[in-house]
Chain A
Amino acid sequence: MNTTELPLRPDVAAFVARVRESLADLSDEDRLELTEGLEADLTDQVAEHGGTVLGDPEAYARELRSAAGFDPVPRRRRLHVPTGRSLAEQLDIVRHLWDDQVARPRIAPVWTVLVALRPAWWLVRAWVAAVAVARLVPGWYPYGFVWLPGVHQVLAVVILVVCLAGSTWVGLGRLWPGGARGVTPRAVLLALNVVAIVGVPVISGQLEAQSWSRYSQGYNEAQRGSDDEGLVSRGQQVCNIAAYDASGQPLTGVQLFDQAGRPLDVACYGQAGRTVPWVLGDVNRWNVFPLGVRARPARTPERRADLSGASFPTPDRATTPAVTNPLVPEVVEPAPESDAPEGDAKKRDRQRDSVRQE
């Protein structure tokens, strides 16, 4: 028996490492059993016959495996659940297969990280549960928080907090079905988690569709709004118009029409309750200015009929500077009627204005 102590050669160490890699599908125990002492044996062999005896580590591993009674090639373990066993046994088998898989040297570091991220999963599944609950609330509507659509914000936060607490308790094993050892809780927990996994893409897909429909709806509303928002000046609705003649005197009962002869109606929010239209026969005219204004909005027909306290608005400025237009021939008029100082230009403008009003 050769008992000479030989140091481990690097080529032997590398060869054995490759052999171990080819045995990665076996359990740690089997792998250790097959390769323990292999360095010493191969070191002796190399000492006797030289480094060429090492050969191909994969082929070596195949021979080793098959002689030891394992499959010659690493076989991908299929998820084979034998039938005719109780659900608990089948769950155990699947669990063991899973544990074996994640214990593999190349998977284990990744799996460690995933296990550390477990609370993030509790949060995600709580969100799925909260959305599912929110959909059951009467009056569910497709608006709201992106992360909790459909219900009033306070209710939404309550639902989310409750679901988050529940999910965490289940995750910590303090709330059924978490932590329980029976078949039913394990199956229920598995089913719930599967539902949550499926639920994430479904819900996020709905959210995406929803945000698109919200966008297009808002776009359409904006389109509609711009169609019938009445008269707009510098982006704001015109609620009333104060008209002055060329000499700066406020005018009452000025009818305005656009270039096509359409009444230049003003229509702004809340105006119908506040302003008093002019009446032509029995038709309300909203293109005659200024409109009368009530002291308080009138929401009912009775109050609309009551015009006490209503008056024409007092313009901020009673007079405006005189303006001229070269198209209007200058007409000499007698003495000015207003208090404001007037020149020839103003007289001319007033003349033009009177022509227009006819």
Chain B
Amino acid sequence: MDQTQLLKGVLDLAVLAVVRGEDGYGYDIVRRLRDGGLADVGDASVYGTLRRLYAAGALTSYVVPSESGPHRKYYGITPIGRDQLKRQRDDWHTFSTTLDGLLDGPAHSTTSQGASA
């Protein structure tokens, strides 16, 4: 399955996870996600998500002026963001456990699925 489709629901969670330990600017965060295995993540999607999390109060942001190049905008997690991260992590674990249970369920359902496909 296309990773980007799966990512849509959990990109918030992934972004919060990678800024949890250290503040970062936009492309820095993209790089952390890609290095973490989400190789196909679109940078514009990450920047938009950062903006939405900021608007929701989950992230704080500050601009670091640069003498030679364009300014960098850094994002850091807020207490609201940590709450959201914890809650969504729990949701994800529950969800993935449920899905794992479905995938590893009784053999007849998977064989019949395979036969029909």
A68 touches B52 (CB 8 A): yes
Contacts of A33 in B (CB 8 A): 51, 54-55
Q: Are B72 and A64 in contact (CB under 8 A)?
A: no
Residues in A neighbouring B72, C-beta threshold 8 A: 37, 40-41
A28-63 near B? 1/0 per residue, CB < 8 Å: 000001101111111111000000000000001101
Q: Is the CB of A36 within 8 A of B48?
A: no
Q: Does A116 contact B (CB under 8 A)?
A: no
A151-181, CB under 8 A of B: which get 1 and which 0?
A: 0000000000000000000000000000000
Determine the residue in chain A with the shortest Cβ distance to B51: A68
Residue from the list B24, B48, B54, B70 in contact with A67, Cβ < 8 A = B48
> Closest CB-CB distance, A212 to chain B, in whole Å?
63
Smallest CB separation, A57 vs chain B (Å): 10
In the bound complex, residues from chain B placing their C-beta under 8 Å from that of A36 are: 63, 71, 73
Return the chain B residue nearest A34 by Cβ.
B51
Q: B interface, by DSSP: helix, strand, loop or mixed? A: helix
Do A40 and B66 contact each other (CB < 8 Å), given the known contacts A1-B28, A63-B42? yes
The reply to whether A2 and B52 form a contact with Cβ atoms under 8 Å apart is no
Residues of B within 8 Å of A37, CB to CB, are 25-26, 63, 70-73
What B residues does A113 contact at CB under 8 A? none
- Tell me if A64 and B25 are in contact (CB < 8 A): no
Decide: B63 and A63 in contact? CB cutoff 8 A: no
Q: Could you mark each residue 19-47 of chain B with 1 if its beta carbon is under 8 Å from any beta carbon of chain A, else 0?
A: 00010111110110000000000111111
Let me know if A355 is at the binding interface, CB within 8 A.
Answer: no
Range of interface residues on A (Cβ < 8 Å): 20 to 34
The answer to whether B48 touches A8 (Cβ under 8 A) is: no
Question: Which among A5, A38, A42 is the interface contact of B68 at CB below 8 angstroms?
Answer: A5
Instruction: Please name all residues of chain A whose beta carbon is closer than 8 Å to the beta carbon of B48 when the two chains form the complex.
Output: 34, 63-69
Q: Are B47 and A34 in contact (CB under 8 A)?
A: yes
What CA separation (Å) do A63 and B70 show in the bound complex? 22
* Cβ contacts B44-70/A at 8 Å (1 or 0 each): 111111011011000000010011111
Task: Given A33-B55, A67-B11, A68-B49, decide whether A40 and B71 contact each other with a Cβ distance below 8 A.
Answer: yes
Minimum Cβ distance to chain A for residue B51 (Å)? 4
A23 smallest CB distance to B (angstroms): 11
Shortest distance from the beta carbon of A350 to any chain B beta carbon, whole Å: 118
Contacting pair A40 B25 (CB below 8 A): yes
Residues of chain B at interface, number, CB under 8 A: 30
In-complex Cβ contact of B69 among A1, A7, A67, A69 (8 A): A7
Complex contact B73–A40 (CB within 8 A): yes
A348 CB to nearest B CB, Å:
118
Closest chain A residue, CB of each to CB of B68? A5
Q: Any chain B CB within 8 A of the CB of A279?
A: no
Residues of A within 8 A of B52 (CB): 67-69
Which residues, 1 to 41 on A, are CB-close (under 8 Å) to B? 1-2, 5-8, 33-34, 36-41
> A5–B42 contact, CB under 8 A?
no
- The reply to whether A63 and B44 contact each other, CB–CB distance below 8 Å, is yes
**B residues in contact with A8, CB < 8 Å:** 69-70
User: Are B68 and A67 neighbours in the complex by a CB distance under 8 Å?
Assistant: no
Is the beta-carbon distance between A2 and B28 smaller than 8 angstroms?
Answer: yes
Residues of chain B within 8 A (CB-CB) of A1 are 22, 24, 28
Closest to A35 in B: B47
- Chain B residues with CB under 8 Å of A65's CB are 48
Give the chain A neighbours of B30 by CB distance below 8 A.
41, 45
Closest B residue by C-beta to A12: B70
Q: Quick one: closest B residue to A66, CB to CB? A: B48
**A40–B25 alpha-carbon span in the complex (Å):** 9
Cβ contact within 8 Å between B66 and A5: yes
Closest to A1 in B: B28
21 chain-A/chain-B pairs, Cβ below 8 angstroms: A2-B31, A8-B70, A34-B48, A36-B71, A36-B73, A37-B70, A38-B26, A38-B47, A40-B66, A41-B26, A41-B27, A41-B43, A44-B27, A44-B28, A45-B27, A61-B44, A63-B42, A67-B11, A67-B52, A68-B47, A68-B55
Chain B interface (Cβ < 8 Å from any Cβ of A): 11, 22, 24-28, 30-31, 42-49, 51-52, 54-55, 63, 66-73
Q: A7-B68, A67-B48, A68-B47 are in contact. List 14 more A-B contacts (CB 8 A).
A: A2-B31, A33-B51, A34-B51, A40-B66, A41-B26, A41-B27, A41-B30, A45-B27, A63-B45, A64-B45, A64-B47, A68-B49, A68-B51, A69-B52
